[in-house]
């Protein structure tokens, strides 16, 4: 908890809007750190549609989600942004005033930032694991039901049930197999979309009777005081089977939840952050909202809107970061000082 990073701006979310904000800030000599809960940059572009073509980015008749992200990262490289991936901003606290904003930002990995401004570019919120709608599952979460492995030791000598058919489910089946007492993999069909070598390795373990594979869906859970002991599986032929398990890991992909943003004292409107259209500042001076997370009259959830919003927000951020400097508007095509910053002159 000791690391304190001092910077001008913390950008929450490394999707296209957050990435391009680094560029607009950088041109104005404003330093930024990016924090994202995902393990990589790109937000929805990388997570939901990396291979899908996008047709409405100005100047690109067609570009894939990942192609756009790669280009943006290349474009902002001259400004050496620092990325903090796999971390969620949990706390945002004002330590300044309306005229002289300052914030302390904390992540769930224990990092603390001290910054002048915050740009919330969190898209649809943070990507979080989908929770299956099994009655009473909440009571087991944290103790017996986990959506990620924090400590392998928690699974030692336990009957572990893993639910899902993708790489996460298969990888954890294989990784926890040597540690767990017995692994049961539950999947709705006898077809796995995970990497073929993982599927083969899992099937080999089943053949050798070193783990169980059950085709079906989890129907209900039984246990005491948050300690799970049995899961009832609905098999595809309509019958059920009880399986002993003290630990369960469901892998149903990710969904977007607003998450801790709701606790930062910002005005919210239907899970969106209202911002003005002059500088895209929120109800809290010094906190800006750009991209899909914001709302204002006429808002369109387009990537290009996020770019525009980032450019305007940067102008106001400049006034907070450099209150005594006059900002002269310049073009990258002609300004030698901007070209110098970009490393092209």
Partner 1 sequence: MAKITFVDSEGKSRTVDAEVGSTVMETAIRNSIPEILAECGGACACATCHVYVDDAWLEKTGKASAMEEDMLDFAFEVKPTSRLSCQIKVTADLDGLVVNTPGKQG
Q: Which residues here bind partner 1, judged by CB under 8 A? A: 44, 48-49, 52, 124, 130, 132-133, 164-166, 187-189, 191, 193, 217, 252-253, 255-256
Q: Are 66 and 54 in contact (CB under 8 A)?
A: no
Would you tell me the crossing angle of helices 16-27 and 303-321 to the nearest 10 degrees?
40
**Exposure class string for 148-164: b at 16+ Cβ within 10 A, else e:** ebeeeebbeebbbbbbb
Minimum Å gap between C-beta 65 and partner 1 is 9
- 52 CB-near residues (< 8 Å, 6+ apart): 64, 65
Residue placing its CB nearer to partner 1 in the complex, 192 or 264: 192
Residue placing its CB nearer to partner 1 in the complex, 78 or 259: 259
Residue placing its CB nearer to partner 1 in the complex, 90 or 217: 217
d(CA 114, CA 39): 23
- 37 CB-near residues (< 8 Å, 6+ apart): 86, 87, 88, 126, 127, 128
Minimum Å gap between C-beta 51 and partner 1 is 9
d(CA 79, CA 243): 54
Minimum Å gap between C-beta 89 and partner 1 is 21
Q: Are 169 and 187 in contact (CB under 8 A)?
A: yes
55 exposure class (CB count in 10 Å sphere: 0-12, 13-18, 19+): exposed
Residue with tokens 């910002």: 266
Residue placing its CB nearer to partner 1 in the complex, 25 or 261: 261
Beta pairing partners, 228: 223
Minimum Å gap between C-beta 250 and partner 1 is 10
Residue placing its CB nearer to partner 1 in the complex, 22 or 121: 121
Minimum Å gap between C-beta 232 and partner 1 is 14
Minimum Å gap between C-beta 254 and partner 1 is 8
From residue 54, give the alpha-carbon distance in Å to each of 48, 51, 58, 72: 12, 9, 10, 14
Minimum Å gap between C-beta 52 and partner 1 is 5
What's CA 103's distance to the chain center, in Å?
21
Residue placing its CB nearer to partner 1 in the complex, 187 or 316: 187
Residue placing its CB nearer to partner 1 in the complex, 49 or 60: 49
Residue placing its CB nearer to partner 1 in the complex, 45 or 115: 45
Residue placing its CB nearer to partner 1 in the complex, 42 or 164: 164
Ranges of beta strands (E only) in the chain are 4-12, 32-36, 53-54, 63-64, 82-85, 89-94, 103-107, 112-120, 126-129, 159-163, 182-187, 212-224, 227-235, 240-244, 247-250, 254-257, 273-274, 287-289, 294-295
Minimum Å gap between C-beta 324 and partner 1 is 45
Minimum Å gap between C-beta 166 and partner 1 is 6
């Amino acid at each position: 908890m000791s690391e304190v990073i001092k910077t001008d701006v913390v950008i929450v979310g490394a999707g296209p809007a957050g990435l391009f904000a680094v560029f607009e800030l950088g041109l104005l000599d404003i330093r930024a750190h990016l924090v994202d809960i995902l393990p990589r940059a790109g937000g929805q572009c990388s997570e939901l549609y990396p291979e899908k073509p996008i047709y409405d980015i100005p100047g690109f008749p067609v570009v894939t989600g990942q192609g756009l992200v790669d280009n943006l990262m290349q474009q902002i490289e001259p400004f050496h942004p620092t990325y903090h991936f796999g971390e969620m901003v949990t706390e945002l606290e004002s330590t300044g005033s309306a005229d002289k904003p300052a914030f302390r930002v904390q992540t769930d990995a224990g990092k603390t930032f001290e910054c002048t401004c915050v740009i919330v570019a969190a898209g649809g919120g943070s990507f979080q694991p989908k929770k299956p709608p099994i009655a009473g599952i909440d009571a087991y979460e944290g103790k017996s039901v986990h959506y990620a492995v924090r400590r392998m030791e928690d699974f030692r000598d336990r009957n572990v049930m893993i639910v899902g058919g993708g790489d996460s489910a298969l990888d954890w089946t294989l990784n926890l197999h040597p540690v767990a007492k017995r692994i049961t993999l539950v999947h709705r069909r006898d077809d796995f979309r995970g990497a073929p070598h993982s599927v083969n390795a899992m099937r080999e373990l089943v053949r050798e009777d070193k783990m169980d594979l059950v085709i079906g869906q989890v129907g209900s859970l039984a246990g005491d005081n948050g300690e799970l002991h049995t899961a009832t599986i609905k098999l595809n032929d309509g019958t059920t089977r009880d399986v002993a398990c003290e630990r369960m890991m469901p892998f149903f992909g990710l969904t977007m939840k607003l998450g801790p943003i709701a606790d930062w004292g910002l005005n919210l409107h239907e899970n969106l952050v209202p911002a003005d259209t002059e500088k895209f500042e929120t109800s809290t001076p010094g906190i800006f909202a750009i991209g899909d997370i914001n709302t204002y009259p006429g808002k369109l959830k387009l990537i290009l809107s996020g770019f525009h919003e980032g450019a305007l927000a940067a102008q106001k951020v400049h006034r907070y970061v450099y209150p005594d400097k006059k900002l002269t508007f310049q073009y990258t095509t002609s300004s030698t000082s901007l070209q110098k910053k970009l490393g092209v002159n």
